[in-house]
């Protein structure tokens, strides 16, 4: 069993309130969850207007498959025009 995780730190320059940031995050989380069947949660920065961190995880039997899925997730997150990615870290268990 392989567990792959990525931590994505983000900046939301257009968010003027927590509500605006949460709308952007909810849309992104739903898109990632529905397209890739992975677990997604906001893990840091819940009370900050313009910063947040998502944790995304997958459990698989094959590391190559998990790596492929997490790479595609990372690519999707990077294509969001209203979100600036400040850091992405990948870990394996």
Q: Average per-residue pLDDT in the chain?
A: 94
CA angle 38, 1, 93 (to 5 degrees): 75
Q: What's the domain range around 55?
A: 2-92
Residue count (the chain): 93
For 40-69, the pLDDT digits (tens) are: 999 998 899 899 999 999 999 999 999 999
pLDDT band, residue 93 (cuts 50/70/90): very high
State how many domains the chain has: 1
User: Which helix or strand (DSSP H or E) is residue 60 part of?
Assistant: strand 51-60
Only one residue has tokens 């997490």, namely 70
CATH of the domain at 39: 3.30.70.1120
**Rounded percentage of the chain residues whose pLDDT exceeds 90:** 92
Q: Kind and range of the H or E element at 89?
A: strand 84-92
pLDDT (average), residues 4-23: 94
């Amino acid at each position: 069993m392989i567990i792959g995780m990525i931590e994505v730190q983000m900046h939301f320059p257009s968010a003027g309130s927590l509500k605006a940031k949460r709308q952007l995050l909810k849309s992104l989380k739903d898109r990632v969850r529905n397209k890739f069947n992975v677990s997604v949660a906001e893990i840091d920065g819940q009370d900050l207007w313009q910063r947040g961190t998502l944790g995304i995880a997958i459990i698989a039997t094959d590391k190559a498959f998990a790596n492929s899925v997490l790479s595609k997730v990372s690519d999707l997150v990077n294509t969001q025009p209203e979100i600036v990615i400040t850091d992405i870290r990948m870990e394996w268990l």
